[in-house]
Structure 1
Amino acid sequence: MKFFRIKQKSRTMITSVILLLLSSSHFFIEAAKSSNNCAVPPFVGDLPIAENKEVLSIWKDYKSGEDCSNQRRETQQVIDDLPDEVRAMVFGRLPSFLNGASTDVKKMFRAIMYNRTLNYDLKKQELSKLAEEILSKKQLAEFKRYMEERERREKEFKEKVNNLSPAAKEAYEKLQRLKAERAKIMEEMTDDVRKELRHLFRKSKNRSMKF
């Protein structure tokens, strides 16, 4: 009976951790609901470049004391659109090799990890080069273990992709190209263009709600 309780408790803890990561996309809005603070969220510096620019642009014209419902909702949308792996990096744990690393070092690794214009092999190459240049001996050993695990998962995923039907595989490859193109557009977009598009989407949403 005691063993069952311990086992059940462990399962509950594991489930809680999984749910925390899966629900991290709602972290900002839920925190905002319990606070009257309307401001740029503290995690903005941990976001990829494109999303960082987007969130800063969302809050750029906000004035203290005004209603910030739109800003909160649009920030939530940015978070929701993040890939699961990136969301886990922002709201979950960093890889063990970055424990104790300086803020600048973390930013350099994040810049590569978050770069959706790079494929897996190029990311691996850039990360390995950076690790050899700036990590300590202990951190480098942790990094190599981290990359071995990623390599294993990547191999498993590639096998699954290769087992797809020709039509499904073609669709997957097209979606990957579109994701890279979208990331590039988002990074190159100026604040003025972001503002125009944001206002356009706000108006479109209001019109559809009235309709």
Structure 2
Amino acid sequence: MFFFTLHIVFISALAFGHPAPPPCGLPAFTDELPADAQKKMKEIWKDYKEGEKCYHEHGLTRELMDSLPKEVRQEIHKGAFLPPILKKQPKDIQDQFIAIIDDKSIPFEEKSTKMHELAQKAEKLSPEAKEAYEKISKLEKEKHEILHKLSESAQEELFALYKERQNKFPKPL
């Protein structure tokens, strides 16, 4: 179910290019706004009635959001395009999905396969295993960043060492 929902969201976003307009009503992120902006946002939407058109309110909301400092807007909208099912996953899993979506080197046809594989991993892990997975993934990312900063000769030395040590680690039962 997780993969299916994610796949539909991903395909529809790519296929149609433009996201659907935001729903009418007080935006979900209102509580994340600074106090004065929250007050203004509530004022914009106070007279809106369910089922009515909301073009005017959307315009005023856009103006209010545009008036906020860039840092505030970025913090509010960070991860906003993630489907709700992904927002419940650990940050590391979210980052990995975003990386797949943003990676221009992965052909479109392969993205859904890679996302499916990641979804399968995420669904099967217990909370303890998920926590360990997050920590290990973070360490692996750090390792790659360190290696990337090294000279080519230093990288080759370490890769030779890792290759030699790889066979010495015990395999799980």
TM-score using structure 2 length:
0.33
Larger radius of gyration: 2
More helix by share: 1
TM-score using structure 1 length:
0.27
